[in-house]
Amino acid sequence: MMMETSINVAAVQMVSSTCVDDNLKAAAHWIEAAAMRSAQLVLLPEYFCIMGQRDTDKLAHKEEAGNGPLQEFLAAQARDHGIWLIGGTIPVAINDDERILNTCFVYGPDGQQQARYDKIHLFGFDNGKEFFSEADTIQAGRNSPVTFQSPCGPTGLSICYDLRFPELYRALGSVNLIVVPSAFTYTTGKAHWEILLRARAIENQCYVLAAAQGGKHENGRRTWGHSVLIDPWGVVIDQIPDGPGLACGVVDPDHIRQVRTSLPALTHRTL
């Protein structure tokens, strides 16, 4: 089993465009910048590869699981920089021409895929001014909660809207790190982003690393940003507002043990 040790981590914030090539260049730039800052685990945001003019635009870039230029890009970046790379999300083909899976892939320093998670909860929002219905173009994932062993210990995968469903995070079991690649809207992010992330960190007594889309996109959508690393006590270690950049810090398993020893809430659960 991989030894748990303190590691440097980074969340990449992007303002992805309608051009996949431009987005991959931007992602490569920030992955390299994170590696230069000694990050051993790097998280990309949801849909780092494309934010289309229409929700259906992503269908043109769907890939079969295990094969395709987006997955090849992620594998090469992990291998070239010798890092753990969590690839935000990319569209993965299913037996439905009008929908895809919104999938997060994890690659190890050797460029090999180590884990995969398909987004379970699909965002729906209508306040009379803004309307979103992910179920129109995405099929909900049917896989169980997914964890993998990273250098800092057990690490749980989730995506964006999953953040509102604490039962998913409980089902991950005892993890040292939760990652949340996201593209929160400005409206919902301003209201709930940080409080939900801090709640997930506090109640699970673990670190939370969230990489977000953050800014005004070509399609007119505005995303909240505020990519962040939060510690098991709910303390914000690093955060950036909007625009491209990095939120960086250290995940320290010893600090997790200290928090869980001083306040053993996880052992006090009765349900």
Strand partners, 245: 13
Return d(Cα 196, Cα 200) in angstroms, integer: 6
**Tokens 């303002």, residue located:** 15
**Token pair for 25:** 């260049």
Active site residue 190: no
Burial of 65 (0-12, 13-18, 19+ CB in 10 A): middle
Q: Is 94 left (phi over 0), alpha (psi -120 to 50) or beta?
A: beta
Q: Which helix (H) or strand (E) holds 239?
A: strand 236-239
- What's the rounded Cα separation, in Å, for the pair 14 and 26? 8
Question: Catalytic: 119?
Answer: yes
- Residue tagged active-site, from 49, 104, 152, 160: 160
CA 14 – CA 49 distance, rounded (Å):
10
Q: How far apart are CA 248 and CA 245, in angstroms?
A: 10
Catalytic pick among 58, 63, 119, 152:
119
**Cα–Cα dist 121/162, whole Å:** 6
Local structure of residue 61 (DSSP, 8 states) = G
Active site residue 104: no
The answer to whether the beta carbons of residues 169 and 155 sit under 8 Å apart is no
Residues carrying an active site annotation: 46, 119, 160
